[in-house]
Amino acid sequence: MIIPLSVKNQSIETSGITSDYKEALCEFIWNGLEANATEIDMNYRSNTAFGIGELSIEDNGDGINYEELKDTFGAFLTSRKNLISLKMKSKANKGKGRFSFSSFSNIAKWTTAYKCGTTLKKYEIVLRDDKKEIIDCTDPVIVRTGKTGTKVEFYNIHTLTVENMDFEILEPVLLKEFSWFLYLYKNRDIKISVNGSPVDYSKYINTDLSEKVYKVINNHIFEINLIVWQESIKEKFCCYFFDSNNSLKCRETTTFNRNTISFNHSVIIKSSFFDNIDDIKSQLESVQISLFYSEEDKKTYKILRRYISSFIEKKMGIYMSKRAEDEIKKMMDERKTFPIFSDDVYGKMRKQNLVRVTKEIYKLEPKIFYKLKPVQEKSLLGFLNLLLNSEERENVLSIIEQIVELSPKQREDFSDILKKTRLENIIDSIKFIENRYKVIELLKTIVYDLSKFANERDHIQKIIEQHFWLFGEQYNLACADQRMQKALEKYTNILYGENNINAVLRPDAEQDRRMDIFMCHSREVETPYETSLEENIIVELKAPKVLLSKKILRQIEDYMDFIRRQPDFNSAFRRWKFIAVCKEVDQDVKSRYDFCKDKGKTGLVIQVENYEVYAYTWDDVFKRFELQHAALLKRLNYDREYLAKGLLEEAKDHEGREKVDKMTKIAMIAGSEAN
């Protein structure tokens, strides 16, 4: 059958049919989507000249109804699909899309199957570039098997090459055109593929931030889809309003379109609420309150707009939080503009405080950091850090206002940020001290009250391994030295024999013959001569019941001598500190304190070259902690007795060894939070 094309006032050639092959291919894919297809496959094969020899686009949609052919293919500049189907394209093609094949081919053939009642029928349609006004189609025939759908095949292909049909070339085009559609209707699992490679909308849409929500306002249900794009889009950031028939009625630009943020987004709202708005036939205009006739509808629309703004702002906050983290990381690692802090616990807390405030400032107004030169950014962060750690903390707000103009709301928000981060910093300080005091109180109870149930391997060692700060904050930075541990094993094997190292000994024999626990840590330290050396720290712990005597010190001296003789440990650029800890020391050890008094180092009992041995009681260790934290403890007015009582309450249902085990576990948990 031949169907003549009715052309009234315009010729086909001057009707604005696209000459871009990529736009043309998109038009054919749209035809499949408008026919309710869920699978659209574009396939091509090259020829010997690296051109395209075969090209087809196949879908599993409803097909083209033969009985309606005159109203579709037989009409020009009208398209029934534009009236009855989802049409969210920026411009309606009004039936011109089927002629776009002429941009790359001379002939297009449609093979389509459709349902006529319960019967499946199939036929073909052919269009030629040189005879666009003639539609040649076969009569439909009944087919017993198969499904509905349409396959378009193109012949006498020109201009297309393997290069410009490459998936890396086509995918960005298809994503820009269809990603929003694929995302909105992901529940239908719609797939578009090119030679078997699927188009992945998540490459163009941020699926973590994009979200669909439903909002009921005055008995109207609104389906709101926020789409956040991975990259910038040509259109202004808009809200698109659709009625219950999926017809685009109007649109409005959102207020969240600052260039410094690049929060690329679109909002699609669907509701029967918009059914009564007249279609805007020409260029889509902004929604106006005047479009709504009743006061109730105007009120509903205002509430809807406020909700949409709040929804976008919430998502933007999440987006800006991630952006702020990335920017701060660049300040630290790439631009090197972020202040340098000491590696001790207090330095880490100061750094975290500055990170929090900087992050909140960036979220509030990224323009503050926009296009700053490195020296400007470094100066800004430096002054900010100084103010945050002074009594002039609140003056940060006035400085920021000199850099960028803040609205009253932004000024209020920023003031709240300063108060919030200050409170968070105080809370962190309190929690930090509390966790350390937990460890102190638990150790006191184990060492003084439960010593007969405690031993160094199962209790003291496990706690100390996580809390080297007990011997000085600087030791908290030291890390375990595995080579030193190997030397210890070698030493113990020499002393006791490898086969007997795990033998069970009488308590008194074990006390006399074997050093109970050594923990070997090392760190780099500066010297007065502007060089650095490696400081090795070895802590030897005795069970609470053991007295620190001359015999124990002799064991440590033997180990010190053993280390001195090792060629891989005797460099002049190494310093060695041996620390022995017991509940009590005997008179011989106390006399050594007096002998080393002129060195000015508390607890020192032996010093040979770069080797020092210290003997501490547990009370020495605990008192040092209190003195080091005295100023902070005074400001926090910390209730240590209350904390100790609470810890004992946690272990009240246990007795003896079981109670010590329980308290050790509590200290281990506190250890994971205190460092």
Q: Which residues pair with 577 in a beta bridge?
A: 537, 612
- The residue ranking higher by pLDDT, 510 or 203, is 203
Q: Which ranges of 156-294 does DSSP label H, i.e. alpha helix?
A: 167-184
Asked whether residue 660 falls in the same domain as residue 511, the answer is: yes
Element (H, E) at 593: helix 587-595
Other beta carbons within 10 Å of 342: 12
Asked whether residue 25 falls in the same domain as residue 172, the answer is: yes
Asked whether residue 450 falls in the same domain as residue 597, the answer is: yes
Asked whether residue 58 falls in the same domain as residue 37, the answer is: yes
What is the pLDDT at residue 112? 96
Q: Furthest-apart CA pair in the chain: how many Å?
A: 119
Q: Out of 278-282, 425-429, 507-511, 656-660, which region has the weakest mean confidence (pLDDT)?
A: 507-511
What percentage of the chain exceeds 90 in pLDDT?
Answer: 23
Concatenating the DSSP letter of every residue in 44-90 gives EEE-TTSBEEEEEEEE-S----GGGHHHHTTBSS--HHHHHS-B-SS
> For residues 539 and 519, is the Cβ–Cβ distance under 8 A?
yes
Element (H, E) at 21: helix 21-34
Total structural domains in the chain? 4
Q: Which residues have a Cβ under 8 Å from the Cβ of 658 and sit 6 or more positions away?
A: none
The CATH number for 74's domain is: 3.30.565.10
What is the pLDDT at residue 318? 85
What is the pLDDT at residue 314? 85
In three-state form (DSSP H/G/I as H, E/B as E, the rest C), the secondary structure along 635-664 is HHCCCHHHHHHHHHHHCCCCCHHHHHHHHH
Mean pLDDT of the chain: 76
What is the pLDDT at residue 508? 40
Q: Which two tokens stand for residue 256?
A: 């969240």
Among residues 198, 228, 263, which one ends one of the domains?
Answer: 198
Alpha-carbon distance 641 to 643, whole Å?
5
Asked whether residue 418 falls in the same domain as residue 448, the answer is: no
Rounded to 10°, the helix 640-650/408-444 angle is: 70
Alpha-carbon distance 504 to 485, whole Å?
22
| CA atoms 303, 304, 307, 309: torsion sign | negative
Alpha-carbon distance 286 to 241, whole Å?
10
What percentage of the chain exceeds 70 in pLDDT?
Answer: 69
What is the pLDDT at residue 360? 80
Element (H, E) at 434: helix 408-444
Asked whether residue 423 falls in the same domain as residue 436, the answer is: no
What is the pLDDT at residue 18? 65
Establish how many alpha carbons lie within 13 A of residue 125's alpha carbon, considering only the half-sphere containing its beta carbon. Answer: 23
Closest CA to 63 of 175, 147, 172: 147
Asked whether residue 423 falls in the same domain as residue 437, the answer is: no
> For residues 238 and 88, is the Cβ–Cβ distance under 8 A?
no
Q: Which two tokens stand for residue 446?
A: 């184990």
What is the pLDDT at residue 88? 46
Asked whether residue 303 falls in the same domain as residue 163, the answer is: no
> For residues 52 and 157, is the Cβ–Cβ distance under 8 A?
yes
- The residue ranking higher by pLDDT, 175 or 424, is 175
Rounded to 10°, the helix 640-650/656-674 angle is: 130
Asked whether residue 492 falls in the same domain as residue 603, the answer is: yes
Q: What is the pLDDT of residues 212-243, one digit of tens each?
A: 999 999 999 999 999 999 887 766 678 888 88
485 lies in which domain range? 430-674
Asked whether residue 451 falls in the same domain as residue 401, the answer is: no
Among residues 411, 428, 445, which one ends one of the domains?
Answer: 428
Tell me if the pTM is above 0.95. no
Among residues 312, 330, 349, which one ends one of the domains?
Answer: 312
Asked whether residue 484 falls in the same domain as residue 593, the answer is: yes
Asked whether residue 580 falls in the same domain as residue 463, the answer is: yes
The dihedral region occupied by 348, where left means phi > 0, alpha psi between -120 and 50, and beta the remainder, is alpha
Q: What is the band of 111 on the pLDDT scale with cuts at 50, 70, 90?
A: very high
